[in-house]
Every structure is written in structure tokens, then in C-alpha cells.
Amino acid sequence: AVVYRKIPDEYPLPGEHLVVESKELDENLNENELITRNLYFSLDPYLRNRMKPSKGFKADYTSRYEIGKTIDNYSVGEVIASKNPKYPVGAVVVGFLGLEEYTRVPANQSLKIIEGARESKLPLSYHVGALGMPGITAYGSLLDIGQPKAGETIYVSAASGAVGQLVGQIAKRLGLRVIGSAGSDEKVEFLLKDLKFDAAFNHKKGSILESLRAAAPEGIDIYYENVGGEALDAALEVLKHHGRIIVSGMITSYNSNAPYGYKNLINIVSKRLKIEGFISDDFSAETQTKFENDVSSWLLNRVIVFKEDVTVGLENAPEAFLGLYQGKNFGKAVVKIADL
């Protein structure tokens, strides 16, 4: 199991803040409890926020990890013992499970059964990626908040990541001109060649403002915000009047308390910009159903692609988690714990 041992000041370090340990599994189940054998665990940037001291933390929308406990998150697992009639042995489920080989799931916890999991043509790991939390994040926020229209231009930061690659491809389908930024030339090539973005640049080379201006000489209508800092300041400068900013996250701030010296915030006023943040479970049941139908059929028909970065083995998970904040993941970061 990967156990949370210490609150990080900056980066979450393997062996210090997250430690791989052996634990005993108590197999004596009470009524409605069950045990899963865990297959895939999702590594998401927001998990760093679950390692912050709770008091006074400005983004308190998520519970904190407890020191000494296994960390948990969206996962796929197989039920191997059950005293809960809703989840029979053999069911493949998606929900909150531990980053560990086996999880004893409490009686009151809900999971979702993945119907047809054993015959599925799509990888099971997609249930914590394109078909899971990052998927609804991209789909729901772009459509509901962004109100995108054909012919408009959108800029997506962290564009080769879990959320960004979906936002960009959905925007292309809707007839937008799509610009992406990512942290390596290889990622930029992926955006242009595989995802068919109209323009893309490496945010680590030169100034983001200059690269964005060159990619969008007439300005952008929508900025899809994943990173904050220099990218947001550049977008504020290049956005057109009445432009929109969809704020998904600001990963540049997750491991640092140092304030960023924004220069262009006043443009929100002068350009009459709209900025809206959200959390992935904000969207209506109707949007959720449309998302599941649309994204699964687009993936099955290869209308869109979804790149994953799969780390094999629990013992490698802490390093892969740290890698999220160093741009080491290329695609949706997932830990593979076992095969079905």
C-alpha cells in the first residue's frame, strides 16, 4: 500500500511523504462490506491538495488525507469477496479505492459496476480517465461553461494531459480553431499530428505571451485554464473583448505558496472577460449521460484518441505522482496494479 506519512512543504517526495508499506488485510467482513482486488488507480493533480493542512487552505473542496493511512482516489477494481448483494464477487467496479493491492470497502460506500467490463473494447483504465473524472471535467466545463461556437479560437494549456487532450479534441469537433501548449517538443508534435490541433507550442521555450500571440494573431475567444501563472497572464493579454476563461485548475500553484505576480488581471475589467471555475461533480445528470454516450462512442469509432501514461506497479506510484508536477507524464497518468 502507498501510505501518506508526512505533509509536504513543496513537492510530495517518494519515501518521505508517500511510502510503500506492507499492511495486513482483515478479511472478516461485516454486513455490506466487500473486498476489491485493485487494478488501476488514477493519479490526479488535485491529490496534492489533499496533502495540505486543512485549516485556512483556500481550496477546501476536497477531504484531506490522514497521516498513516493509505491514499485513495478514483480506481478500478474487481470484487473478490462480498457481503454486499449490490456488488457480487466478480463484478468490476469503479469508485474510490486505496492505492494498494486490496481494499476493504466500508458498508456505506457506493461504487459503480462497469457493465460488460470483461468484453469491453476500450481499456478498463479509461474509466478513471476519458470515461471518468477527467472526462466529465473536460466535456462538462467546455460545453456548459465555455459555450463554444464554431469559428471561435480556444487556447488550452497542459494540452497533452488528461483533461487538455479531450478539451482540444472536443473543441475541434465543434469547429473551433484550437491552440495548445505543452512542456516538450514531443508533446507539441502529438498535439499537432495526432490530435490535429491548429497550432501548438512548447511553453518551456521562450515567452508564452509571444508564442500565443504568434499562434493567435487575431486573439482568442476562450482560454481553458489548467496551469495558472505565466500562461494565465499571457491569455489575459491575448483574449478578445468578452472572452471567456474556463478555470479547471492551476497546477503551477499546487506545490508552492509563492504568489505569482500577475500583470494583466486588470484586463478582466477592460475587456469585459468572464471567468468561471467549477468542480468535476458540478454537472447535471443530463450532461453526465450525454458525456458518457458521446465520449465512449467517439473513442470506439476512433473519432478522438486518448493517450495514457501507465505506470506499472504500486512501488513506482509515488515517483509517478511526483512526475505529474514535473511534466513527466505524457497523457493521463494511471497506475496499473494488476490485470483483470
Site for ligand NDP in 33-92 (CB under 6 A): 44-46
Query: Closest distance between ligand NDP and the C-beta of residue 129, in Å?
Result: 9
CA-to-CA separations, 314 to 18, 40, 82, in angstroms, rounded: 11, 10, 24
Q: Is 134 in the site for ligand NDP (CB under 6 A)?
A: yes
Q: Please, which residues have CB within 8 angstroms of residue 6's CB and are 6 or more apart in sequence? A: 16, 17, 67
Q: Using CB atoms within 10 A of its CB, is residue 63 exposed (0-12), middle (13-18) or buried (19+)?
A: exposed
Q: Which stretch binds ligand NDP (CB under 6 A): 63-71, 86-94, 267-275, 320-328?
A: 320-328
Neighbours of 229 (CB within 10 A): 18
One residue of 74, 79, 329, 335 binding ligand NDP per CB under 6 A = 329
Q: Give the residue with the Cβ less far from ligand NDP, 158 or 176.
A: 158
Q: Which stretch binds ligand NDP (CB under 6 A): 30-38, 287-295, 311-319, 326-334?
A: 326-334
Annotate each residue in 163-202 with x if it binds ligand NDP (CB under 6 A) or - if it does not, as one string.
xx-----------------xxx--x---------------
DSSP strand pairing (2-4 vs 18-20): antiparallel
Which of 133, 191, 130 lies closest to 158, judged by CA? Answer: 191
Site for ligand NDP in 216-275 (CB under 6 A): 226-227, 248-252
Q: Is 291 in the site for ligand NDP (CB under 6 A)?
A: no
Q: Is 158 in the site for ligand NDP (CB under 6 A)?
A: yes
Query: Closest distance between ligand NDP and the C-beta of residue 158, in Å?
Result: 4
Q: CA quadruple 233, 149, 166, 140: dihedral positive or negative?
A: positive
Query: Closest distance between ligand NDP and the C-beta of residue 266, in Å?
Result: 23
One residue of 153, 160, 211, 311 binding ligand NDP per CB under 6 A = 160
Q: How many residues bind ligand NDP (CB under 6 A)?
A: 31
Give the binding site for ligand NDP (CB under 6 A): 44-46, 134, 137, 158, 160-164, 182-184, 187, 226-227, 248-252, 278-280, 324-325, 327, 329, 332-333
